[in-house]
Structure 1
Amino acid sequence: MKNQSVKNNIDWITVILYMALVILGWMNIYSADITPESNYIFDITQNYGKQLIFIGCNIVLIFIILTIDAKIYERFASVFFGASLVLLAGLFIFGKTVAGQRCWYAIGSFTIQPSEFAKAATALALAKYLSDSQVNLKNFNHQLIGLLIIALPILLILPQPDPGSALIFTMFIFVLNREGLPSWYLWTGFFAVALFLMALLLKPLYVVLLIFAGVAIHYLRSRPIHRNIIASATVLIVMVGFALSVDYVFENVFKQHHRDRFNVLFGREVDMAGVGYNTNQSKIAIGSGGWLGKGYLEGTQTKGNFVPEQHTDYIFTTVGEEWGFVGSAVLILLYVALLLRILYLAENQKTKFSRIYGYGVASVLFTHFVVNISMVIGIFPTIGVPLPFLSYGGSSLWAFTILLFIFVKMDANKVNEW
């Protein structure tokens, strides 16, 4: 009776939006990979054939997730998180290196990327910790523990090196903020990023003058009772020191391909045949689609294989070229609808754990969605972040499915949590 009530309370709006994105993803992978020599859609020597196998396994995966008692995810959240950290650490010994990154375990011809699954494990661990009635994010020690849960996978992922995946984990800061983390953490992060970019774009003297002007204006506009010359001077020194160190960090810590991507983004280097090739070709493909696109399977840029990795990180270029502005807008609206639905369901959960996990799911999907599309249209550096449910790959598809359907199960189970 209990299982029947849970099944009847599955949020089918979320499931339908998910199915629509997965189907659209396969259609575009098929379009990006099909050749005149292709025989049938189940050809497992082609990416679209392999993706069908991944989708088939997904159905089994969803069934298993929905069958397991929702309380299991809360009870063993720490175990899942610990296992994910062990798998990430194991990459340094047993991982397979591809294009300079040691991010995968290889089992024959099959590879799996543990950082993708670590996102769901981290969301569970964070929800487990923050749902503890004793935890108060106004307490500095509790803040540190919450930030440490986020930092641990990042510290294991960055050396692989995989800055794209590491970036996704930083977005869990929004979950902490939703649960009471002081907003100055977010503002500090925002200003640090802005200052970093400003230091790359402007001469040091101009940056220092802007910092001095900003601190002075803030000091003068503050109420006399709140003015603290020592605190303002400390902030000024820290900001100037940070800004002046950016150039050294950029030249000596960043790897060459990271510097190249930023330089292309800022217009410092226009190497259309080298580091700027991917972004340039993706913008050409999307722009050539016009309002209504060239038609499904009719994309000339897609068929000419001009865009590298088009079935994975650059899958949105196929949508832009063949489906045009209207098709791209519909796809974006599907993502927005899914995100809004997750947030709505999260706010209506009966337990704190489920609510916090729902916000973790939304944070991960939102960041992937925004970063991938921004990367493809050239307003964000290329960092290898897949588009959820659309990009080719078993690891990403299964990991996103696990992430989402654990929440679907929690939401369906809320009928039993009164």
Structure 2
Amino acid sequence: MSGRSILKRIDWLSVLLYLSLVLIGWSNIYSSTFTGTDESIFDFGTLHGKQLFFIGVSFTAILVIMALEVNFYERFSSIFYLVSMLLLLGLFVFGKTIAGATSWYNLGFMNFQPSELAKITTALALAKYLSDIQTDIKRRKDQLYALLIILIPALLIIPQPDPGSALVFFALVFVIFREGLPLFYLGIGFATIIIFVTTLMFGTIWVAIGLATLIVLFFALKRKSFKVPIFPLILTTVVTILFSLSVNFVFNQVFEQRHRDRFSLWLRLEKDPSKLEQIRKTIGYNTYQSEKAIESGGFFGKGYLEGTRTKGDFVPEQETDYIFSTLGEEWGFIGTGTVIILFSILFLRLISLAERQKNDFARMYGYGVISILFIHYFINIGMVIGILPTIGIPLPFFSYGGSGLLFFTILLFVFLKLDTNRLKESF
């Protein structure tokens, strides 16, 4: 496909949204690191200068992606996946530890996080497998293999420990649901989360009694009309109660103290006010300061480079995981609302592009891109405004981080390259 043809067929709305988010993100990185001195924006010794450099690297990567043949990504997807898994394994020997997680390779000029690459290769490998089997994935064997593609990188990342990055991979399950996985499994997933959280909040005994009562009532009221077999119902009751009984063991013996503290703060599990306040000042400090920064911005914000909490370094890691708080303080509700609208339009546009693909692989990879970007967006903003526990994953195209920006760019533009080969038309 010629360069002129690619320029005609690329989705310029998605490109414009990408550029807008990158530009707004960089301007907020500049603001969060601005010291008031006459620094050049091209000073690569500063964080904003480094980010600007990687914006240039990302733009170069876009040109390379667009120059490659469209079938290159499908043909070599399995090899890419294997290489990324080997890189994840290599961290246990050669990895560099940053902020308590051995998730990086030190390349000298930059730190490389292979989990970011693995997100792309896992989305590619999953799309390749699902498109190859050419089925609506009703067979248990197909479901198991698809889930294993997602599970393997997650299991390699959890021990680093980096549970936030591992969680992102499970978002790819929605690709399998799009291709026909019964919603029954999604129900199991949500029920597991609900049981886990309610057990922590109310205790094992009350949850076990509640579960048993609900299941018995369902059986008593619906058995005649739905003809529910008694053995599966009893088995379901036993399994759910056993899971509830295991929650405290997992919480106290498997979770690290910092994870327990985050759940205690999020769910208000600690009944001692002094201990809860201590947790809030330590584990919850970032979120507390982030909430205050956003709240202080009001409707219109304090103005660009005028954020007093941003300038006072009240919010740790403000240029990375908490970059959204800089936007809230300096641009107010207008700024945060604008960014949320830009992300929302991008997600809707990518769904439209995915649905119009002529090729199954392209459609499935497109939904993989949507899943990864959305889980990052949802968790990051939820964490910054205090409705979700602190997990520590960046806001796509926005947060400081060279490898993050580069791989988010590759993730998106591989799909936009695949979209240039479409036949269907859309709005």
**Where do 1:109-188 residues align within 5 Å?**
109-188=109-188
One-letter amino acid of the structure 2 residue matched with residue 174 of structure 1: F
Q: Aligned pair 1:317/2:317, yes or no?
A: no
State the 1:416 CA deviation. Answer: 11
One-letter amino acid of the structure 1 residue matched with residue 324 of structure 2: F
| In 2: Cα distance, 1:394 partner to 1:252 partner | 36
Q: Aligned pair 1:243/2:244, yes or no?
A: yes
**Where do 1:61-100 residues align within 5 Å?**
61-100=61-100
Instruction: After superposition, give the CA deviation of every residue in 1:142-173 in whole Å (9 maximum; x if it has no partner).
Output: 11000000001001100111000010000111
State the 1:257 CA deviation. Answer: 0.6
Change in 2 beyond 3 A, CA 1:325/1:134: closer
Change in 2 beyond 3 A, CA 1:386/1:219: same
CA contact under 8 A between 1:81 and 1:121: conserved in structure 2? yes
Q: Aligned pair 1:344/2:345, yes or no?
A: no
State the 1:213 CA deviation. Answer: 2.2
Instruction: After superposition, give the CA deviation of every residue in 1:218-261 in whole Å (9 maximum; x if it has no partner).
Output: 22343425222211111111111111111111011100111111
Which residue in the other structure is 1:371 paired with? 379
Which residue in the other structure is 1:23 paired with? 23
Change in 2 beyond 3 A, CA 1:276/1:38: farther
**Where do 1:276-295 residues align within 5 Å?**
276-295=284-303
State the 1:2 CA deviation. Answer: 4.5
Tell me whether 217-226 or 353-362 shows the greater mean CA deviation.
217-226
| In 2: Cα distance, 1:334 partner to 1:223 partner | 49
Which residue in the other structure is 1:226 paired with? 227
**With structure 1 as the length reference, what TM-score do the two structures score?**
0.97
Tell me the SS of whatever aligns to 2:244. helix
Instruction: After superposition, give the CA deviation of every residue in 1:263-301 in whole Å (9 maximum; x if it has no partner).
Output: 111222232331111111001001111111111110011
Q: Which of the residues 301, 308, 323 maps onto 2:309?
A: 301
| In 2: Cα distance, 1:374 partner to 1:416 partner | 36
CA contact under 8 A between 1:157 and 1:166: conserved in structure 2? yes
Which residue in the other structure is 1:270 paired with? 277
Tell me whether 394-403 or 262-271 shows the greater mean CA deviation.
262-271
Which residue in the other structure is 1:354 paired with? 362
Tell me the SS of whatever aligns to 1:43. coil
| In 2: Cα distance, 1:45 partner to 1:9 partner | 38
Tell me whether 135-144 or 17-26 shows the greater mean CA deviation.
135-144
Instruction: After superposition, give the CA deviation of every residue in 1:66-123 in whole Å (9 maximum; x if it has no partner).
Output: 1101100010010111111011111101100112210000012520101011111111
Tell me the SS of whatever aligns to 1:294. coil
| In 2: Cα distance, 1:133 partner to 1:278 partner | 46
Change in 2 beyond 3 A, CA 1:156/1:38: farther
Tell me whether 23-32 or 135-144 shows the greater mean CA deviation.
135-144
| In 2: Cα distance, 1:175 partner to 1:218 partner | 31
Instruction: After superposition, give the CA deviation of every residue in 1:341-379 in whole Å (9 maximum; x if it has no partner).
Output: 000000001111101111000000110000000011111
| In 2: Cα distance, 1:116 partner to 1:217 partner | 47
| In 2: Cα distance, 1:353 partner to 1:134 partner | 10
| In 1: Cα distance, 2:244 partner to 2:395 partner | 33
Which residue in the other structure is 1:252 paired with? 253
State the 1:46 CA deviation. Answer: 1.2
Which residue in the other structure is 1:402 paired with? 410
Uncovered stretches (5+) of structure 2, i.e. residues with no partner: 271-275
| In 1: Cα distance, 2:255 partner to 2:236 partner | 26
One-letter amino acid of the structure 2 residue matched with residue 96 of structure 1: K
Q: What's the Cα RMSD here?
A: 1.5
Tell me the SS of whatever aligns to 2:316. coil
Q: Aligned pair 1:10/2:10, yes or no?
A: yes
Instruction: After superposition, give the CA deviation of every residue in 1:188-242 in whole Å (9 maximum; x if it has no partner).
Output: 0100011000000002221112111221232234342522221111111111111
| In 1: Cα distance, 2:133 partner to 2:251 partner | 43
Tell me the SS of whatever aligns to 2:282. coil
**With structure 2 as the length reference, what TM-score do the two structures score?**
0.95
Which residue in the other structure is 2:394 paired with? 386
One-letter amino acid of the structure 2 residue matched with residue 10 of structure 1: I
One-letter amino acid of the structure 1 residue matched with residue 87 of structure 2: L
CA contact under 8 A between 2:294 and 2:328: conserved in structure 1? yes
Uncovered stretches (5+) of structure 1, i.e. residues with no partner: none
| In 1: Cα distance, 2:245 partner to 2:22 partner | 46
Q: Which of the residues 389, 405, 411 maps onto 2:419?
A: 411
| In 2: Cα distance, 1:105 partner to 1:354 partner | 31
CA contact under 8 A between 1:264 and 1:270: conserved in structure 2? no
Which residue in the other structure is 2:194 paired with? 194
Instruction: After superposition, give the CA deviation of every residue in 1:291-348 in whole Å (9 maximum; x if it has no partner).
Output: 1111111001100000000000000000111111121011000000000000000000
Tell me whether 298-307 or 260-269 shows the greater mean CA deviation.
260-269
Tell me the SS of whatever aligns to 2:422. helix
One-letter amino acid of the structure 1 residue matched with residue 382 of structure 2: S
Tell me the SS of whatever aligns to 1:131. helix
| In 2: Cα distance, 1:291 partner to 1:106 partner | 42
